Structure 1
């Protein structure tokens, strides 16, 4: 346990967070609330000149282009500038020469934060919005989310992305805790707050990588893909979350070159530490040899973990990489991804992963707590949230879901052989409750200038929160017991009974 996890003796006042009375932005939580104009529809066969004229007449920066049976594309002012003007091409070319790839569409009832995440993850300028019948009813762009509850976060993200120096980057990034605290005071859902924090963390990491590699022109940045791991990869970071990471490198690099890349990646971690994003020196760090390997080395290691998961920390690495999300470099690269796609068909390994996941027990206190007279404390991450995260990861793997965040994983696995719809819904609610209690506690500590940690002094919680925590732990423990009992009789990858 770190010093930041210890509560000073004698400190017994309740930890609460004052709410903002204005709660600006609350109520604009779905995509449909962001639409202000009707969409401008074009055709793939019209000329760019015709499209530009219509966009000008309507005062629109986007035009939706139906792409036969391939969905929709979006023509933007930026496309015209880069694909026609800057390229020296004529305006009488047809639109389909610029717009060839369909973009994701988003339903009008989608949560704004989920749509924003999709937009930024795919590095899109805009996305079409559809109704229940699949008809396009509008377009959302990044600027539209300024009016959403996540708006202040997107402003900070833009500042981070434009930072011209390491000092500027670190100065902007250190504002993240204040943003998180403000969003909590506005009573935004905790999963939206952590998603916004994750989007900003991603931007900080990308900008840090850009700045460091700018200072090393001899290194080819295209040879590196940075993988976010852990809570940030799942878009669930709080004020105590570390930045866990790994990188996958091109196969044609020599050992000497790899050493140079690792040194540069160490500089990136120094930048992140100075930006207020903690780096656990004993954890997953991209600069370490174990977490900075070539594509072939990752693939070979993954095959070894599947063949013998008890060797070389195979279970630990497998769990880490199942959460991996590429955020810089080649988005198709995911260390060991080719092998892990077959993981769910390996019954013995799946069984070991389940046993490992269930080994993190949900409980209010451990024997160590009793022996050290810390019976009035609760390690909310280790004994509450981690068990849910582990169940969700394993259950999603069983059903072949590629979801990363815990809530989506549980919903994807709902109704599967080991997790009924009711149990999955209960765990989603439990996860939300514990995350809210955790973030409330941490923000209250932050406001008071106290060390922020994951060990809660139960006396400092409100009676309602103490009751909610106790109920949540009982619910998780019940699911763990049932899954553990079932695992004794059924193959982990092919169970045929549902937890009721």
Structure 2
């Protein structure tokens, strides 16, 4: 229940000043405003509370947001989708239903802790009769009609390209590029660096130049992104969206099949597409102003995952979108928590996502494995000062719905919060003693690591693992893990349940990691690693393709299972009972596991004869 208070319990002058600054009440005479304030009720709501549902009942009051933010839905048939708008301090809602006396709209839900002022409709009606009030209503009706026309179901990136591109030469100065961007009213300029090849400069990169006091006479080639995210005409809007989420990009370039630039799309362009709702949620997470709002926003992610699955998007693509949203949640949690600790330097450490998060393969049951790498020269006591903040970050992620191991693979654990040089020394120790102290497990975690905050270039520990294939003892252990079939279930009717992660997905992940490392590939995702290693001495192209297909099939089965568990109020897990599968699904799973074991067997046999780079056998 909301906490309510009459003006007598409040500072009347403060409330009067606040309402007097909000349209259309700023047009009222002091006596009229005082009469409204005298009958106002101030209420406080917690995150997720329904403040108003005017679709189901007639109301005689309207609401003004005093503190916090409120999500607003104006279409009854879209209540399960993202809100039509969000009102902050000074925003009004409920006035249409209140002034007409009809059960029309909206539904309003608190985003984090919210304080609203409830006002009687009959007392505030004169405010809307003024010229200022009429203008307010006209603007609101126009914007509402614009939204109510319907959201076009764009499916191709072609439909999102609205304007011709701006292209500048590599030798153009930063100042010249900025001027041309302003003249074209664009937030980017593509930089031609070769036939069919473009770099990218944006408003953000120009601001960085100015903030660093660098000369704007420099050529744009010095500050551009040389490898911007790019898609071709004909690509799905979802594919372009994934590029945005993966790279936290300001712009995605769109080319034709010959490589000629056709235009660009920005995150805001995806908001109009019902098939790319992830972009809107991504922006809401990125712009959350409090941890309460961030947690509340992220709780909409499982529904988004369900929607994407229902639309037929490939499970690998759904998981990529989900992983990107996890990245955004973690980044924003770090920023918001560190803002509350001004004595700590948010730029002194790099946050690495490890395991499935590092591979961009996080699902609804995934733990948030992570580590941090501090600047060299920081002592243990100084690093220890950051531990309470890391514990707060872990708590934010948990309240948002993620699982975070506080005592294991987490920056809260001193073993996973080291300086760059300490990480380098630890990595070299693991490589020299791969069979001791869980060294190979830690190696796998860090090999799959990906920085998402701080120094986004390869950290020192990753450079150590860059020549991992030159360490035959570690490669032997990794290969042994890859071809180990001891956990693989045998005989469909001998088991009552299957752990999809341990018994089906993990073997593929291990094979892909070893195979990619053996050919010196730097790919991190399982399917990307399989493609990179396809046709190598130990993994044939056919077997790599089969494992990739099996990975996709089992991941889709895993996601569906976890969404069903969430729907029934259960905690998502990787264990599935055979009786919960249809006969067709059970057969598909059985065949998939059979393919995995057969490929593991072939790899083990081939590895006996495949030489390493040094000419000695792998096993």
Q: Structure 2 length normalisation: TM-score?
A: 0.68
> Could you say if the C-alpha distance between residues 286 and 114 of structure 1 is closer, same or farther in structure 2, counting changes exceeding 3 Å?
farther
Asked if 1:417 is matched to 2:537, the reply is: yes
380, 384, 387: which one aligns with 2:504? 384
252, 262, 265: which one aligns with 2:387? 262
Q: Distance in 2 between matches of 1:138 and 1:415?
A: 37
What does residue 126 of structure 1 align with?
Answer: 251
Matches of residues 238-317 of structure 1 in structure 2 within 5 Å?
238-281=363-406, 283-317=408-442
> Could you say if the C-alpha distance between residues 393 and 41 of structure 1 is closer, same or farther in structure 2, counting changes exceeding 3 Å?
same
Q: Which shows bigger deviation, 74-83 or 190-199?
A: 74-83
Q: Distance in 2 between matches of 1:221 and 1:153?
A: 27
Taking CA–CA contacts closer than 8 Å with sequence separation of 6 or more, which of the two structures ends up with the larger relative contact order? 1
Q: Distance in 2 between matches of 1:315 and 1:202?
A: 25
Task: Give SS of 1:232's match.
Answer: helix
Q: Distance in 2 between matches of 1:487 and 1:88?
A: 56
211, 226, 246: which one aligns with 1:102? 226
Q: Distance in 2 between matches of 1:340 and 1:295?
A: 14
What does residue 604 of structure 2 align with?
Answer: 484
Q: Cα distance, 1:377 vs. partner?
A: 1.0
Q: Which shows bigger deviation, 405-414 or 106-115?
A: 106-115
Output one character per residue of 1:283-311: Cα deviation in whole Å (capped at 9) or x when no partner: 41121012111111111111111111112
Output one character per residue of 1:369-426: Cα deviation in whole Å (capped at 9) or x when no partner: 96xxxx2211111101110111111111111111111111111111111111111111
How many residue pairs get aligned? The number is: 467
Q: Distance in 2 between matches of 1:459 and 1:97?
A: 60
> Could you say if the C-alpha distance between residues 260 and 416 of structure 1 is closer, same or farther in structure 2, counting changes exceeding 3 Å?
same
Task: Give SS of 1:154's match.
Answer: helix
Task: Give SS of 1:42's match.
Answer: strand
What does residue 519 of structure 2 align with?
Answer: 399
Q: Distance in 2 between matches of 1:107 and 1:436?
A: 25
Matches of residues 302-341 of structure 1 in structure 2 within 5 Å?
302-334=427-459, 336-341=461-466
Asked if 1:63 is matched to 2:189, the reply is: yes
Q: Distance in 2 between matches of 1:412 and 1:113?
A: 24
Q: Which shows bigger deviation, 265-274 or 64-73?
A: 64-73
Q: Distance in 1 between matches of 2:512 and 2:315?
A: 18
Task: Give SS of 2:169's match.
Answer: coil
Output one character per residue of 1:108-136: Cα deviation in whole Å (capped at 9) or x when no partner: 16665555454455444224333343322
> Could you say if the C-alpha distance between residues 422 and 53 of structure 1 is closer, same or farther in structure 2, counting changes exceeding 3 Å?
same
Matches of residues 15-30 of structure 1 in structure 2 within 5 Å?
28=155
Structure with more strand by fraction:
2
What does residue 173 of structure 1 align with?
Answer: 298
Task: Give SS of 1:336's match.
Answer: helix
Contact 1:360/1:382 (8 A) holds in 2: no
329, 345, 358: which one aligns with 2:470? 345
Q: Distance in 2 between matches of 1:220 and 1:425?
A: 46
Q: Distance in 2 between matches of 1:96 and 1:89?
A: 12
Q: Distance in 1 between matches of 2:310 and 2:530?
A: 28
Q: Which shows bigger deviation, 480-489 or 225-234?
A: 480-489
Q: Distance in 2 between matches of 1:56 and 1:211?
A: 32
> Could you say if the C-alpha distance between residues 334 and 110 of structure 1 is closer, same or farther in structure 2, counting changes exceeding 3 Å?
farther
Q: Cα distance, 1:461 vs. partner?
A: 1.2
561, 569, 573: which one aligns with 1:449? 569
Q: Distance in 1 between matches of 2:353 and 2:153?
A: 30
Aligned Cα root-mean-square deviation (Å): 3.3
Q: Distance in 2 between matches of 1:149 and 1:358?
A: 43
Q: Which shows bigger deviation, 315-324 or 143-152?
A: 143-152
Task: Give SS of 1:403's match.
Answer: coil
Q: Which shows bigger deviation, 50-59 or 466-475?
A: 50-59
> Could you say if the C-alpha distance between residues 496 and 51 of structure 1 is closer, same or farther in structure 2, counting changes exceeding 3 Å?
same
Contact 1:347/1:493 (8 A) holds in 2: no
Q: Which runs of 5+ in 2 are unaligned?
A: 1-80, 82-150
Q: Distance in 2 between matches of 1:112 and 1:63?
A: 21
Q: Cα distance, 1:492 vs. partner?
A: 5.5
Q: Structure 1 length normalisation: TM-score?
A: 0.83
